[in-house]
Structure 1
């Protein structure tokens, strides 16, 4: 009887020491890997556990984090999934689970965190069983895993906060890209509509006055979304403004932009781009379409044409395989409607796309209206068409009306 009490006292002391070691490690904010190592050492060296395999569930998969006393091949053969419903310590002596004696489910707030397979925890000595050992092992594993779980949650929270801050910065960067003021006179009016698919999109539009006679209009869509897209578009906008101050030759501008995108994007980021320069004195519109949805031009408020001439998507080839500049002459008055593919690719519940034909119908239905009225009418049309279906991409519209 005295011997049993001595064994119990020794075991309690070992357990207390193990708890102190683990608690100190947690308080010192050691890494997940270090906590598993301390768990391994404590059970093997201090508590004399001979065989153990700790399986932790992560994203619906079971991963063995600690094992000793058994071969790797044995670990791979354990049918862990078949024990997912266990809520109490269970004997494995009647089960085909090799040399393990017990399975210990480790739960926290009714959530199964881990399964511990153990063998030879403590020898039965004159009325003393290994029940207390399994109970302590369950408690120790719970402490370790809850600490690791809390570290993961804290890390996820920090990552989410960092991501949120990145998005906020990207959103601010993107807001700086768009022109603060667009012309709105009886002779010339420009209006834009922008709706990102998520917090930060990859679309861009601009109006750049060149001199008293000429102005530039453009619209673009970068592949990808979020912070990388916003940063790439920021570089693109800065490069465009710099080039426009140096030249108004569209072929040169497009070629230089393509070179910079190919270089800075490492051939992995592409931009569709439409750019046009109008000369009031010459009544001429010059444009280049770089793989973008063809804008619609209403020539002298009569004939509707698509502006398709240009080149391929920017950033894909260096140099560009070809560049063809389109020229529209005798253009005393016009309506220009530009958009990104979030508009025409919007779908209804039947998976049918809004399409270019409905865009053309929308333009014709509000002829002689102001650009902002046209934009609103187009968005009303696509929203009625969608019937609540989500947009699949950013939606950007740029409309311009010029009267002589």
Structure 2
């Protein structure tokens, strides 16, 4: 066996694998550089989007956020410039913000956009078509400046467009850049929606404060408590469906001079023999408009009572005075006006299409309606109103009410109606309740009928007048 010298044994040449390793190291190094570059780019984009998210959470002013939008858009898409165009509620188009790295390019783009927007706004009030807007901008800019855009959608309604501009011929509109542009546009839409919700909330808060003021004024205009009328016990309550209601009731002395004299001499709120007006009304509708008309009705009626006419004449004069205002507001008023004379126990009245009050006759335990002919206040300027009169006796009770009682609806959809009210009123009187007891009983019957979970769909007002015997007079 012949030994082979060591120096001649076959051994791979050292340079061969070295050359192979050197050749393979170049793409590996390039790959590492690419990964590092992508990582840096990803961090840059994340930081920019985080800044945009922070601005969205922190800025209270929408304009501050909109100033930032084109800058962020240009940076995350590596573009030379960006523009934000919004559509206003009045149909006008507005260039909100423009960012461009090159000043000359920015001036050129701004001139083109301003010219196109002015033309659109001056042409007609019809909404601009996004495709038409993009086409006009591309046509005016020419082929030198490349253009990309995406819509800004708020509740699936396009409220503007976000544009990206580039003069780099090698600039590629990749899917990633498209998504980033859409992401910025979506955050801009969120900022716009949040601002509108804030404006709406502030408006609602102002309306709530105004409603509180209106409700407070209305409560002050309604009688704070029932007056003390000789020989009569009164109870009244008004529950509004909203903060401000259209129901109205009032107690008006027909002779203020005599009332003041007796109050000064006797130190009480009533006068022997001074007649009092007891009024109840209902303005068609609810809320602030009805409350305003109710206030107007109260003032005009109180002035009319001083003329000392009959109830029918008072309603006739009131109708003529209020007709023009009610016609313009397309609203009407039902009103029952009565005057009670403590000396004679005579109740005189006139009705302007209001729910007739119910009269419980203690002697016969029967119920009658108090009604006269008459149309709604504000329906016809020449309406005439009849006069009625009844003689009350000790133990008699009269209830004045609005249609919120008879129109109350149960969970099954049934109305309380007048028959149920008459039956409940009769039961309350037969039980020997006083005026306050009758008031509480009738409201309790309504609540049981409607159900505790249901709210009043209409204002409910009730006035109870009960005639006392002579020995119980104050």
Among residues 349, 357, 371, which one is paired with 2:435 in the alignment? 371
Distance 1:37 1:286 in 2: 68
Match of 1:310 in 2: 373
| Cα shift at 1:392 | 2.1
Match of 2:172 in 1: 128
| Cα shift at 1:153 | 1.9
CA deviation map 1:255-289 (0-9, x unaligned): 12212322222351111111111122333211111
Among residues 212, 221, 239, which one is paired with 1:168 in the alignment? 212
Deviates more, 1:254-263 or 1:185-194: 185-194
1:201 and 2:242 are equivalent in the alignment: no
Q: Secondary structure at the match of 1:253?
A: helix
* Structure-2 change in CA distance of 1:127 and 1:256 (3 Å): closer
- The answer (yes or no) to whether the contact 1:221–1:272 under 8 Å persists in 2 is yes
Match of 1:266 in 2: 327
Which has a greater percent of strand? 1
| Cα shift at 1:15 | 4.7
- Structure 1: runs of 5+ lacking an equivalent: 1-10, 50-62, 72-100
Among residues 267, 283, 289, which one is paired with 2:351 in the alignment? 289
- Structure 2: runs of 5+ lacking an equivalent: 1-73, 101-105, 114-126, 136-146, 256-272
1:218 and 2:282 are equivalent in the alignment: no
CA deviation map 1:164-216 (0-9, x unaligned): 12211210221122112313578311101211111111101111222433111
- The answer (yes or no) to whether the contact 1:107–1:114 under 8 Å persists in 2 is yes
Among residues 320, 325, 345, which one is paired with 2:387 in the alignment? 325
Match of 1:338 in 2: 400
* Structure-2 change in CA distance of 1:181 and 1:380 (3 Å): closer
Distance 1:294 1:113 in 2: 53
- The answer (yes or no) to whether the contact 2:151–2:185 under 8 Å persists in 1 is no
- The answer (yes or no) to whether the contact 2:80–2:165 under 8 Å persists in 1 is no
| Cα shift at 1:69 | 4.9
| Cα shift at 1:118 | 10
Distance 2:456 2:342 in 1: 38
Q: Secondary structure at the match of 2:95?
A: helix
Match of 1:351 in 2: 413
Question: How many pairs were matched up?
Answer: 343
| Cα shift at 1:350 | 2.0
Which has a greater percent of helix? 2
Q: Secondary structure at the match of 2:276?
A: strand
1:394 and 2:459 are equivalent in the alignment: yes
Deviates more, 1:191-200 or 1:118-127: 118-127
Q: Which has the larger radius of gyration?
A: 2
| Cα shift at 1:131 | 3.9
- The answer (yes or no) to whether the contact 1:173–1:231 under 8 Å persists in 2 is no
- The answer (yes or no) to whether the contact 1:261–1:270 under 8 Å persists in 2 is no
* Structure-2 change in CA distance of 1:64 and 1:191 (3 Å): farther
- The answer (yes or no) to whether the contact 2:152–2:160 under 8 Å persists in 1 is yes
Match of 1:237 in 2: 298
- The answer (yes or no) to whether the contact 1:173–1:230 under 8 Å persists in 2 is no
- The answer (yes or no) to whether the contact 1:258–1:315 under 8 Å persists in 2 is yes
* Structure-2 change in CA distance of 1:70 and 1:31 (3 Å): closer
